[in-house]
Structures are given as C-alpha cells and as structure tokens.
Structure 1
Amino acid sequence: MSDLNHTATAGFESRFGQSPAGLWSAPGRVNLIGEHTDYNDGFVFPFAIDRRTVVALGLRTDRLIRVASSFAEDTVELSLDDLTPENLGGWSAYPLGVAWALGQFGADLAVVPGFEVFIDSDVPIGAGLSSSAAIESAVAVALTDVWELELDRPMLARVGQLAENRAVGAPTGIMDQSASLLGRADAAVFLDCRSLDAELIPLGFDAAGLELLIIDTRVSHAHSTGGYASRRASCENGARLMGVSSLRDLDVNDLARAGELLDDETFRRVRHVITENQRVLDTVRTLREEGPTAIGALLDASHVSMRDDFEISVPELDLAVEVARASGAIGARMTGGGFGGAAIALTPHALVPVVSAAVTSAFAARGFGAPDLFVVRAADGAAREQA
C-alpha cells in the first residue's frame, strides 16, 4: 500500500498543484462462489482481496469537480450543477457517478463543495476482480468523510450499485460493492442480496495451507456490453414465466416444473441460478462443518454450470480450470461476470508453482496469450489511509 499511497499523492500534486486532504482506499474482490445470483436476489460469497484502489482527494471552494487517474491522460472537469448520468461517460463515470448517486441517497448536492480526486490502483482491469467497485467504494468512503454524510457501509454499497447501473450503464448487482466495503481479513462476505443481510464467514485458508490462485486470462470483458445484459434479461423472463418475482423464490425442487414451462435456453439460465444459490449455501455450511479443503467439488460444479448452462465461459477460462485441477488444485472455477477475465484455483501452498507452470505451458501450447497468475488473500474493506 505504501507505493500506491505515494503514487496517488504524487499524481494528485502533479495534476492539481497542491497536496490532497487525505487518502482513502478500497479493495477489489474475488467471488469464491455465487455467480450471476446477485441480481436475482440470491446468495453470493465474495471476499475483498489484497489488491486496492487508492483515492487522493481534496475539497475545492467552488462547485467544480476535477477527476484524474494513473490510467488516463485526461483530467475530466464538471460542475456539481451539471452532475447527471446523462453527462457522464468513459472511465470518469465511475467516480462521478458515485458523487451523483450520493445525492440520490441524501447528500445535498446544492450545498456541498466541489472536489479534486486522483485515482491509482493495482486491481487488474478487466480480470473479473471488480476494479470498478474498488473505484466506486473508495470514492464513496472519501466523499462520505469530507462531505460529512451519515451513510453506513451497506448504504454505500447501494450507492455504488446505483452509480454502476445508471451512470456507467452496467446492470450489475450489489455483490461487488458489498465485498469491497464490508470485507475482513481471512473472511468472506456471505451476502443475501434480497435482504442485504451480510455475515462474515472465516475462510481458514492459511490454517489449511491453501492459497487462492488467480489465473487472469487477459481476455477482456465489459459488463455494459450485451452478454451480461442478455443473461439478466433471460433470468427476468424465466422468473416471469415461472410466476415469481425473482429466481430467488425458486429452489431445486422447482427444476422439473421449469423444464416443462421454459424453452431450453431459458431453462438452462434458470437452472444455473437455482443450483448456484444452493452451492453458495452448501459452501458456507461446508466451511463451517468441514473446513476449506472440502469445498473443491462445489467450485468445480459451479464452473460446469457457468460453462454449460449460463454459457459465459471462454476457451481460455475452461483451459485454466481444467489444467489447474489436473495439476493439484482442489477446486477451480471462473469468477466474475464471464466472457473473459479470471479463473480461481484453490490450491495447496506447495503446489502453487506447479499449477502456475502447468497453466502457463498449456496456454502457450494452445496459442493463447500468456496468462497473469498471482495469489490473493482475503483483506479488509474500504478505509481511510491517512489524515
């Protein structure tokens, strides 16, 4: 974190000619299990990771907002008076969208001062590790502090989701922001996306000698494009045809009836969500009763469901999962929204080099671009870094 804090501070000073009022950070997240269940009011089980986004922020005495980052050359300027979703676009829609969304949750944008912000991050972009929610969550906690708002972390998760839905145009659920804001070291967030009840569940990876290996395929994806939106629409259609408000209202006992009522594609989309919800519940129970070495089969089954029923995997992800399992991982699956991004492999510590080498070799043999492999640990959520 010291390097990111330094580069964020230096970036702020270079762009804006003064020191920031403070630094705030928020982590990316990896979803251990529970994919595409969040917007269906279901269960998810993500954890915050030790890759973070740092926001250096200072207040202005006028109404102007200026945002800049290490990953874009431009500095975007906008008046608070013009802060609407229709006026936002590109990368700046993430931080500016949060400022707008805070106004929808009680901040009086007619009286708050403008601000300047510089963003730096080591959360990989496009890898399915929610670099977007890290930006949103860091900006949300920063503005909550400097604007002196009384919003708790679950409410800030809703702020981030609204920003992503309306300002960015990605129809995502609330999982990513919840993990980034609520995460704790060596624990995952068991989140009910209907009630927003969240419980921290100890993972025990260190005690069991396990590492979570990220295999970033470097195949890029974008949630605001058609694949994600079409899956969500299919789920909504399936719920309507089944006569329920959301797929959360169905369980495995409803699959036979769903098979009779729905066309094949819609049925498979619905089956993924129903069975994935059950896998989340089973994973939490298994962790509590047997420990992390016993969850491998659930991770494997989740990938098969995403590959075959939800059809959001790609050949690179399938290869990463197959080779990781064959090389000693106790379980593996793609993670994130799909159509690229990363796979995860729960791997004994001693076998991480073996699995990494095997995956890298397999990608080369297939003519795929070299993947990026690294271990992540469950980390604390968003926080102020310094005064």
Structure 2
Amino acid sequence: MSYRIFQMCKRCVMDTTDPDIIFDEQGICNHCKDFDIKFAKLPKTSFQESTFFQDSIKEIKDSTRGKDYNCILGLSGGTDSSFLAYLCKESGLKPLVVHFDNGWNTEFAIRNIENLVNKLNFELYTYVINWEEFKDLQLSYFRASVIDLEVPTDHLIFGALFKIAKKYKIHNILSGYNLTSEGTMPKAWLYEYKFDRANMKDIHKKFGTGKMSHLPTLGLWERTMYQKFYRFKQYHLLQTFYYDKIQAKKLLTEKFDWKDYGGKHFESVFTRFYQGYFLPQKFGIDKRKAHLSTLICAGQMTREDALAELQHPPYDPQLQKDDIEYVCKKWGISREEFDEIMKAPVRQHSEFHEELELEKKLHKLIQYVKPLIPSKLRNA
C-alpha cells in the first residue's frame, strides 16, 4: 500500500484525504481548476435579471398550459430545495411539492416544510417509505462496509419522484443541484452510480434479511423509459443565476421563519450521523472540506474562515453520542454490533454486481428504437 505526504490546497481546503487529488506547481488542486471551468460558464446575475432563468420558467409554463401543475419539486426542508420553492412562487409556477419521508427527519426539517408550504400555499404530497424494507436496505449497506450509505435514500428519492410525476403526468422535474454549494466532491468519497439497482440488489441480497418489493427502485429499463420515452426533463434552476447560499438562508429565515440545521443536509438525522461520524471514523473523510472548498471557490467564504471551522468537530459531541444511540435503536441493533461493523474492513461498491456495461448497450439500442416508436406512445 502506498502512502502520500499530507498536502492541502493553497486556495481551498481540499487535501490528500482525497486519494485522487492533484496539485500544480503553485499548490492549487484539480478541484479548484475544475470548479473554475464550470463556474465561468454560469450566469453571474440575480434570478430576476437572468435571461437563462426567465427562459427556463417560460419553457416550463409553455409546456404545461392548462395543466394543474407545471412541475414537480422535491422538498427536504434544507436550504436549496426551500429556496427553490420560494423561486417557484416568485415566478408563478404551480409545483406539486413532494416530500420523501424516509423516517430520519429532524424537527427543524418538518417545521421548515410546514412553514413553507403553508405560506406559499402549495400542495404537499408526502411519500412515506416502507420503513421495515428501507431499514433493512440501509442496514445492508452498513453491514457491507461500503462508503456510500446514502445510496438508498438518493436512489429512492428519484424513484419516488419519477413514479409520482408519471402518475400525475408531470414531465418537468426541478432539481436543487447547484455548483456554488455542491461543485466539489471527490469521486472516491461516494458511489458515483447511485441509480445502479443491480449494485443495490446485490448488496441487499448478501447483507439484508428481507425483501425490497415495496421500495420505489429504478431499474435501468425504467430509468431509460422515464428519461427517453416519457420525456421527463430536469431543470437545475439554481444553475441559471448566481446562487448565494448565505443570502438564501437569510431570505428564508426572514420570510418563512426557516431554521438553519447546521451542516450540509443536516435536515436528516441519518445524514448528520453519516457525514459527521461514519465517514470520519471509518473512512477518514470529512465532507466539510468539500463543502467549504466549494464556497471558497464561489467567493462565498474565505479560506481562513473555512480552516477555523475545520478546527471544530463536525458536530456537537453530545449530539453525536445521542445520534449513535438513536441510530442503533431505530435500526434495531446493539451497540456491540454497531462497533464491530465500524471496525470491519471496508469494501468497494465495485465488489458487487454493477449494470454499467448493460447500460451502455441499452443506450445504443434506444438510439435505434426510439425513432420507430409513435409519439402518442412516448407521451402517454
């Protein structure tokens, strides 16, 4: 096994805990350079002044004339999705707001969601996951000792959104992704192919104990049907103007009594545990470095402030202790089993079945078949 001398980027706070990081002669990392290339292509105006934003809104409205809903919006109660809900109201969109309840919401998240939908007068569709099956799936990932315990949630959120969108015949799906707060994340710190149901099923088969027949999983064929034939289109509206996360939080707090939950995606107890304890302890990864580096590159935080924040633990030690007890209780495992799994050797997601090669072949087939399918069938 090879070791690298520790090195931190001179501009951001990414370092050699990312095994693939590369530095130039000035000590600037590849993440900064990649961010700059992407950031240069984004508008630098407010959403009110951005023609890209206005054009997207017009396109959504024009494609849904006479419909009950213009689009579907997943709302977690966090900053990005909450600000996106505000933008919908400001722009005159009529979204079907969907909240994916996987059983791990914090009180902050619940209160934020209620305040937003009530004050914005939006209809809320709460998708409650089958807890026993979801718990077993999460536990299988934990017992497998793979890095990305968030795959079940990330995969099933989109599975639920796509199925609800199809049910209500909504073709426009809003995404809260944005470069200015999510533009830096090493591939080694997650599983890149979160939609890979084959990988999920194999992990669950080897480490789960029950079924997953009631979970809204997305297989390769279903995913392709949604994207290619049903013509679902995702809109990254936060990418169409200069999105300032700090200002977004201030606006949400003032207008909706929105409460900040601390870290990135800490509106979920599980994500707080995963990012604040599991990753640092088992994999030596502090995701704050990526989140803070993004803000530095976007000009929304100084490197000095980021370094000062990293001097503190990911979150309050007592809350961390409480979270571990809560996770064990909710999963139905003992603290002894929990500690044993935390000490177990790590595995790669690639050690389990993957559908990557099949996906490449299917895409070639789709390009050949799609022109032969009647438009009425594609729009059904």
TM-score by length of 2: 0.24
Relative to the length of structure 1, the TM-score reads 0.23
Could you say which structure has the higher helix fraction?
Answer: 2
